[in-house]
Amino acid sequence: MNSTVISFQHRHTAHCESGVAANLMTHHGVALSEAMAFGLSSALSFAYLPFIKLTGFPLVAYRMPPSFILKGIAKPLKMRFHFETFRDPGAGTRRLDELLAQGQVVGLQTSVFWLPYFPEDMRFHFNAHNLLVYGKEGDDYLISDPVIDLPQRCASADLQRSRFAKGVLAPKGLLYYPGSIGQTTVTPEAIKKAIKKTVRIMLGPIPIAGVRGMRTLAKRVAKLDTSEYSLNYVGHIVRMQEEIGTGGAGFRFLYAAFLQEAAQITGIGELAKLSERLNEIGDGWREFALKAARMIKGREAFDPVHLAGMIDSQADHETEFFKALKAAIA
Amino acid sequence: MDVNEVPQEGNRTLGSHRKALYAKDADGKMVIVPSRGSEVDETVTMQAVERMHAQAEEARSRALAGQTSPLEYWMYARRMDVALLSQVTGIWQWRIRRQFDPQRFERLAESQLSRYAEALGLTSDQLRALP
């Protein structure tokens, strides 16, 4: 049997892209945690895009768009990723095999729906799922999917299908691996810069992004009627927040972990206190999710105005929080 | 969230997998904790899964009654809607809707049929019938 296996340490993480970034960089000698990859690339966000529909519901995101993290860590680490896409699926598979044979651990963008090792009920058409391939045994690829606790295997036909899924964010067989790395530690300056950017994103003027996006979403939720569609609408918000690999509370806990690390590296003690505060804000998001789930289950009367009020109050807390964060690094 | 508050009540949609959550340990450090999932996640995932399942079953009954083609059933069975199927196949939405008509679907050219079949991960023969 033909086999290539690269020695690779799988680490289970909350989110696919920050997990892939952290695990791949660690493999290349840059000790990077998931939280650091996430924070350093300023990936925390909030966006409510009513004009983009996912199975009939608006896009609600608690982070920046796909590939923001990989691109975001490149500059502070003075490195480059080689990104390659393919028109012909066969060529994409051959290139993957070639890189594995050279000993490269390779990152891939895939569609969750066509990955057989994903639990059946979690397989939706989401085209920007990241994973790492660290070998091939016979017809099976050896996969380190950071959101799955153990390493997985995937038959080559399935993986190819998943890499060449079509539609929004079509991966076009995207694969990536790092080129030369100019910097193996994270500097305090890079962290401050990344935090500033996150503050700017969260407190920006556009009504669909950052805390203002939360306000707009709250207004929409307040107007929901009591139909089945409305119940599905709030269910959809909670799914985006809790189910889709966020580490809990729409990445707020993950960013709190980053702030702790940031406090150590920069020596700014205030960041550790702010981490605590963000942890509490995260608990607020979880309370919102719990309330919504109880209403969906019919244990409580469906009350969209109440849920809207909870989102609004989260926006209040986050506004104060990001102002304090801005002050802490000024 | 504290480490001991990480939900472990189990979520059947996760199968045997666990998901990583971040929580504060006894020393106040944020750490990764594997979670068996929570009822909240299960509720919203099952809500989405059941919604799509219901759409598929409803399309199946209409297909059996001759009111739509198997294409509509398979579209929902593969967790898509018209907008997504259109993106994936490159076929206009209005054409897809027209081809839900059983008679039109019958007459569909093999090339068109295979575009749908490919996008849905089926053979053309599978696509022509209901499971």
Clarify whether residues B30 and B65 are in a common domain.
no
User: Could you tell me what percent of chain A has a pLDDT over 70?
Assistant: 100
Q: Name the one residue in this structure whose structure tokens are 């390493």.
A: A151
Mutation target among B12, B44, B122 for the A interface, most CBs of A within 10 A: B44
Clarify whether residues B117 and B53 are in a common domain.
yes
Helix axes B39-64, B70-77, angle to 10 degrees: 170
User: Could you tell me what percent of chain A has a pLDDT over 90?
Assistant: 91
Domains plus CATH for chain A?
3-32+79-181 (3.90.70), 188-329 (no CATH)
State the burial class of residue B36 (Cβ atoms within 10 Å of its Cβ: 0-12, 13-18, 19+): middle
- In total, the C-beta contacts within 8 angstroms joining chain A to chain B are 128
Kindly tell me the number of DSSP H helices and DSSP E strands found in chain A: 11, 9
CB < 8 Å to A34, chain B = 32
Clarify whether residues B12 and B61 are in a common domain.
no
Clarify whether residues B52 and B112 are in a common domain.
yes
The verdict on residue B99 lying in a domain is yes
Measured in degrees and rounded to the nearest 5, phi and psi for residue A230 equal -65, -40
Clarify whether residues B31 and B94 are in a common domain.
no
Clarify whether residues B52 and B79 are in a common domain.
yes
Kind and range of the H or E element at B73? helix B70-77
Confidence label for B15 from pLDDT (cuts 50, 70 and 90): confident
Q: Does A299 touch chain B (CB under 8 A)?
A: no
Beta strands per DSSP E along A76-157: 79-84, 106-110, 129-137, 140-144, 152-155
* Contact: B87, A122; criterion CB under 8 Å: no
Q: Quick check: A318 pLDDT over 80?
A: yes
Model ipTM value: 0.93
CB < 8 Å to B115, chain A = none
* Contact: A256, B30; criterion CB under 8 Å: yes
Q: Quick check: B37 pLDDT over 70?
A: yes
H helix runs in A223-251, sequence order = 228-238
The verdict on residue B43 lying in a domain is no
Clarify whether residues B52 and B93 are in a common domain.
yes
The verdict on residue B88 lying in a domain is yes
Q: Which two tokens stand for residue B113?
A: 């049929």
Torsion of CA A119, A121, A125, A129, to 10 degrees: -30
Q: Rounded distance, CA A164 to CA A92, Å? A: 9
Q: Quick check: A72 pLDDT over 80?
A: yes
Q: Does B22 touch chain A (CB under 8 A)?
A: yes
- Which of A122, A124, A293 has its CB closest to that of B40? A293
- Which of B14, B32, B52 has its CB closest to that of A14? B32
Q: Does B130 touch chain A (CB under 8 A)?
A: no
Q: Measured between CA atoms, how close is A227 to chain B, in angstroms?
A: 14
Phi and psi based region of residue A242 (left: phi greater than 0; alpha: psi -120 to 50; beta: remaining): alpha
Clarify whether residues B67 and B93 are in a common domain.
yes
- Which of A14, A256, A279 has its CB closest to that of B20? A14
Q: What's B84's domain CATH number?
A: 1.10.260
Confidence label for A1 from pLDDT (cuts 50, 70 and 90): low
Q: Does A151 touch chain B (CB under 8 A)?
A: no
- Which of A14, A114, A124 has its CB closest to that of B21? A14
Count: domains in chain B: 2
Clarify whether residues B76 and B114 are in a common domain.
yes
Clarify whether residues B55 and B95 are in a common domain.
yes
Cβ-contact B55, B122 below 8 angstroms: no
For residue B70, what pLDDT is reported? 96
Measured at the alpha carbon of residue A150, what is the angle toward residues A144 and A151, in degrees to the nearest 5? 35
The verdict on residue B42 lying in a domain is no
For residue B12, what pLDDT is reported? 84
For residue A54, what pLDDT is reported? 81
Q: Measured between CA atoms, how close is B101 to chain A, in angstroms?
A: 22
For residue A243, what pLDDT is reported? 82
The verdict on residue B111 lying in a domain is yes
For residue B11, what pLDDT is reported? 85
Q: Domain limits at B19?
A: 3-37
Clarify whether residues B14 and B77 are in a common domain.
no
Q: Rounded distance, CA A50 to CA A150, Å? A: 36
Segment 66-95 of chain A within 8 Å of chain B by CB: none
The verdict on residue B90 lying in a domain is yes
| Chain A, nearest residue to B28 by Cα | A276
The verdict on residue B102 lying in a domain is yes
- Which of A148, A235, A286 has its CB closest to that of B1? A286
Clarify whether residues B79 and B31 are in a common domain.
no
Q: Rounded distance, CA A320 to CA B94, Å? A: 48
